[in-house]
Structure 1
Amino acid sequence: MRLFDSRHTVLGAAGTVALVLGALAGGAQADRGGGHDRGDRGDRGHGNQTAKNVILVVGDGLSIAARDAIRLATVGQDGQLAMDQLRYAGWTHTDSADPDDAVTDSAASATAFSTGVRTYNGAIGVDLDGNPVTTLLEDAKALGKATGLVTTAQVTDATPGSFGAHVPDRGDQSEIARQYIDDTRPDVILGGGEDWWLPVGEVGAYPDNPDDSPAEVSKSTIGNLITRAQETGYTYVSTPEELAATTAKRLLGLFANEEMFQQAPEGEGDEYDPVVPLRDMTQKALDVLSRDRQGFFLLVEEEGVDEMAHNNNGGLTLKAGQALDDTVALIADFAARNRDTLVVVVGDHETGGLAIENVDPDDESTDTGSTSPDVLQSSEDGPFPIAGSDLEFIIDWTTGSHSGAATPLTAHGPSAELLARAQHSTNVHDVILRAMRGGR
């Protein structure tokens, strides 16, 4: 077990977050008092209001237990995360329509969010028969909106891929990249996964066989897709400095060979330190997309929660979750200044069977006999300090895979109250599409 001290890690911005979300709440109070400006109407969130902007934030693997563990480690028992302060709350059932598996994977879950259709595990933007289904990103473009994908995973991984591509197998990541460039053309694409954009033997900004992950190599099956993107009008960046400096309207940024972290059990090469933090990538995306007078649709994903939970790595699960919440604080600030923005924060599935427990030497779940050692990396992690107190907690794991638990959802903005319910993840799609279309 490893001590993880996060009492002061992320929400040094807590005061700012409270002010921002207080401003959002103040707008809601003005609504009840009969305010009539455009910002009040957007803040009220009635289902007939139009969302000029939509920001969908997916915490991959983010369960209610994970959110609570992040809360305890970050702001303590009496605090609230930025994502927990959004006005409306509900939860989503994540079951896919896979004929063989009861529990979803990220591809089927993201496709439910993006298309409103339940499908099989591994499907990217296609139905059970493998037929393409229109995604929210494509709907937004049809409405004249700018679009963006931001993730700490590969930009062609399951969640972003399900919004910007249509392939029957999530593993076909070079084809997903090609479809971004040639077909769906998001205005902003930021994250990891350079390996899938360059052919075998062609080294990019991030070299093959790095010391921290020797198996990472260029592997595009369709040639040099970075060059192809540049030829079709994308500006390519690969460093924090290049990202900060660019004023491009169409932007491709790749900041790692694969994911923007190293997922592993504790002490076995695990690392969460993205070259460009999720918050910074999101800020750049907002800067670019908000120039569009018709508004925008932006997907933001934190992949680290899922991958670290797969490895039963409690410390870095918390760290990735804190990076996610720091990003939500940024988004809340944007929404406070742009009241016609719908913000939705949701998990796509639960990972790890995470449970929060007291520190109790007599309750150590160390019996691995009932579970495959290939799946279980560690039974328990911690103790972790509860911020602002002398208390500690333990994270207990039951699996290294996904579980079928429902995931929490919080939202704010036009039509957000329609998400304050128990629902399937397909309803997230339906509400967002309705909000983007408004009366159209």
Structure 2
Amino acid sequence: MGAGTAVLAVGLATAGAAFDDGDDRLTRDRGPRTAKNVILVVGDGLSIAAREAARLHFVGQDGELEMDQLRYAGWTHTDSADPDDAVTDSAAAATAFATGVRTYNGAVAVDLEGDPVRTLLEDAKELRKATGLVTTAQVTDATPAAFGSHVADRGAQTEIARQLIEVTKPDVILGGGEDWWYPVGDPGAYPDDPEDRRPEVSKSTIGNLVTRAEQSGWDYVRDAEELQATDSDRILGLFANEEMFEQEPEGQGDEYAPVVPLRTMTEKALDVLSRDRHGFFLMVEEEAIDEMAHNNNAPRTLQSTQALDETVALIRDFAAEHRGTLVVVVGDHETGGMHIENVDPADETGDPENASEAVLQSLEDGPFPIADSELEFVIDWTTGGHTGAATPLTAEGPGAERLARVQDSTNVHDVLLDVMDR
């Protein structure tokens, strides 16, 4: 670490200590304490630019997002250990958070040799804590899968589903992806749509896993009303065929309107998991930030970032009322190469006369108004893929000051495990 970086890292850590206001529920720099509850919030694809664009648009230059009001701040390097690619995918990134091990792209909680590596969710269960996974993606997608399963290929989503209900057994599993739970020909609660650009059809190769889950003690719910009504301590909720949104470029069928909002799913998860006297581990993911950025869709990226921030507000309220709760908000990688720019017609980097879909997709989006201001900005993109940029992290609660630094993503795992395992 260079001298400048070292100074910055120390500055981040000490800045958090300087604002200690005597609130006993917040960690001071006297060393870590036990975290009864650990809540890891992952904004898939969430970059510093996405956070800043959302801040400007929704709360203005003088405001702060809920996720930016957490006491400590740092950032994480996102590179995986893939032998062929310099930039991580979501599976390797989530595996680093979940296990503390860097691995190859596509790997789900396995190391470079394909051997299973213990996850934070499994560690929490060993400590007799309740556990939960909440996402707007498929519950078997890369990020939740890395906490609740072990497979060599993230595409093995039916096997991931099987492991969730037969091996790792989180108490609460909420999100999309029912197609991976039902066998071919059984559409479940959400009708198959083979005409979709990415065909949405039931595809389990090992039978009806929803029935298996119910037989094993999970209460299966299919919509917001059923989720609200259940008082079970074990809930499986699948609220879409695949993701709980439609990821497309603007005006081409894009939609962010989850049947059950991320905040609502998280609220139910907190209600259920907090009943456990030993505490809990909960992973909450907003997937749409990543998928909308893949499509260079700035309006939907902003919308889903706002949905994540509203969920963080709920989590912060919960943490304020439940001592010993560690809250961490972090992006697993950056997507789209997003830039915030002045409105300047002469500065358009794309070619609007070019009819190529890829070129048109990457044109500047906006302008977007800055809240409480007459100013506007545009969002520009450099890619439809991931980038190798570091991602911002904010945290509050026991051990949070240890994350106020420049760090590998594996350090997030190490700190969470250390403050939880005491």
User: TM-score, normalization: structure 1?
Assistant: 0.89
Contact (CA 8 Å) 2:27, 2:33: kept in 1 or not?
no
Q: CA deviation at 1:203?
A: 1.1
- Counterpart of 1:347 in structure 2: which amino acid? G
- In 2, Cα distance between the equivalents of 1:338 and 1:160? 24
Out of 76, 91, 101, which is 1:117 matched to? 101
- In 1, Cα distance between the equivalents of 2:92 and 2:284? 17
Q: CA deviation at 1:115?
A: 0.2
Q: Secondary structure at the match of 1:429?
A: helix
- In 2, Cα distance between the equivalents of 1:298 and 1:26? 29
Alignment-derived partner of residue 18 in structure 1: none
Q: Secondary structure at the match of 2:121?
A: helix
- In 1, Cα distance between the equivalents of 2:37 and 2:126? 14
- In 2, Cα distance between the equivalents of 1:28 and 1:334? 20
Residue 222 of structure 2 corresponds to residue 230 of structure 1: no
Residue 163 of structure 2 corresponds to residue 179 of structure 1: yes
Q: Secondary structure at the match of 1:159?
A: helix
Q: CA deviation at 1:361?
A: 0.6
- In 2, Cα distance between the equivalents of 1:136 and 1:373? 41
- Counterpart of 2:377 in structure 1: which amino acid? F
Contact (CA 8 Å) 2:77, 2:407: kept in 1 or not?
yes
Assess, with a 3 A threshold, how the Cα gap between structure 1 residues 432 and 409 changes in structure 2: closer, same or farther: same
Out of 25, 35, 41, which is 1:51 matched to? 35
- In 2, Cα distance between the equivalents of 1:277 and 1:108? 26
Q: Deviations over 1:180-238 (max 9, x none)?
A: 00000000000000000001111110000177667211011211000000011000000
Gaps of 5+ in 2: 1-15
Residue 153 of structure 2 corresponds to residue 161 of structure 1: no
User: TM-score, normalization: structure 2?
Assistant: 0.93
- Counterpart of 1:379 in structure 2: which amino acid? L
* Structure 2 counterparts to residues 132-211 of structure 1, below 5 A: 132-209=116-193
Q: Secondary structure at the match of 1:92?
A: strand
Alignment-derived partner of residue 30 in structure 1: 22
Alignment-derived partner of residue 10 in structure 2: none
Contact (CA 8 Å) 1:206, 1:257: kept in 2 or not?
yes
Q: CA deviation at 1:29?
A: 1.1
Out of 410, 420, 424, which is 2:394 matched to? 410
Q: CA deviation at 1:378?
A: 2.3
- In 1, Cα distance between the equivalents of 2:82 and 2:195? 38
- In 2, Cα distance between the equivalents of 1:111 and 1:173? 16
Alignment-derived partner of residue 15 in structure 1: none
- Counterpart of 1:405 in structure 2: which amino acid? A
Alignment-derived partner of residue 3 in structure 2: none
Q: Deviations over 1:17-73 (max 9, x none)?
A: xxxxxxx99994125xxxxxxxx1654364330000000000000000110001111
- Counterpart of 1:437 in structure 2: which amino acid? D
- In 1, Cα distance between the equivalents of 2:36 and 2:304? 29
Assess, with a 3 A threshold, how the Cα gap between structure 1 residues 200 and 45 changes in structure 2: closer, same or farther: farther
Out of 294, 300, 309, which is 2:284 matched to? 300
Q: CA deviation at 1:362?
A: 0.6
The alignment-based identity, stated in percent, is 74
Q: Which moved more, 1:297-306 or 1:46-55?
A: 46-55
Alignment-derived partner of residue 14 in structure 1: none
Alignment-derived partner of residue 6 in structure 2: none
Residue 303 of structure 2 corresponds to residue 319 of structure 1: yes
Contact (CA 8 Å) 1:27, 1:43: kept in 2 or not?
no
